[in-house]
Amino acid sequence: MFELFKTFFQIGFFTIGGGYAMIPLIEQKVVDEKQWVSHDDLLDLIAVAQSCPGIFAVNISIFIGLKQKGNKGAFFSALGTCLPSFLCILAIALVFQQFRENVYVEHFFHGIRPAVVALIALPVFRMAKSAKINRYNVWIPIVAAFLIWMMGVSPIFVVLAAGVSGYVYGKYLKEDFV
């Protein structure tokens, strides 16, 4: 249990930018170092974690903890993921009013924004590679992003439509093209 807690505490403590920014560190720690799940399993976990209500990184930690040590593993991995953020937010809340107008603090936050975007972009490219996105099917995530971003379509409907389309393609159409 302690190993799960420690691993996810480190992931939660050293990652700035939220759940998606945690993916590279989760991949490094959980897949490469600990070998608790495979790259393909992590990709599936990411898909499931995105589909479930709640915090993305916590969902992933719960799934991995559950797989490793059952309910107790799920609890300790989730606690390890949440505790660093809680402690950080608590510390910031205690001193934020004093530094809110500080120009250096403001510049610091403006400076880390591009790094956070890069931390989020990296797993997107890795996931695209693992999901075998290529020049023939790259239009699917682009259309999905457009529908969600520009058209205001609920991501739930996009995920459901993609799942049904994949099922129909695999069950009925793929055989015609092979």
**Alpha carbon distance 60, 73 (integer Å):** 12
CA-CA distance, 25 to 41, in Å (whole number)?
16
In the numeric block, which tokens belong to residue 162?
């993609």
Query: CA–CA separation, 94 vs 176, rounded Å?
Result: 64
What is the C-alpha end-to-end distance of the chain, expressed in Å? 48
The pLDDT confidence band at residue 138, using thresholds 50, 70 and 90, is confident
Q: What are the boundaries of each domain within the chain? A: 2-132, 134-178
Asked if 133 contacts 141 with a C-beta cutoff of 8 angstroms, the reply is: yes
User: How confident is the model over 9-41, as pLDDT tens digits?
Assistant: 998 887 766 677 788 888 899 999 999 999 888
35's CB contacts (< 8 A; 6+ apart) are none
Closest CA to 67 of 44, 36, 21, 24: 36
Let me know if 93 is exposed, middle or buried by CB neighbors in 10 A (0-12, 13-18, 19+).
exposed
Instruction: Return the structure tokens found at 82.
Output: 């949440």
70-84, 117-131, 134-148: least confidently modelled range: 117-131
Whether this prediction's pTM lies above 0.85 is answered by no
CA 127 to chain centre: 10
d(CA 60, CA 31): 12
Give per-residue pLDDT as tens, 62-102. Answer: 999 999 999 999 999 999 998 988 888 888 788 777 777 78
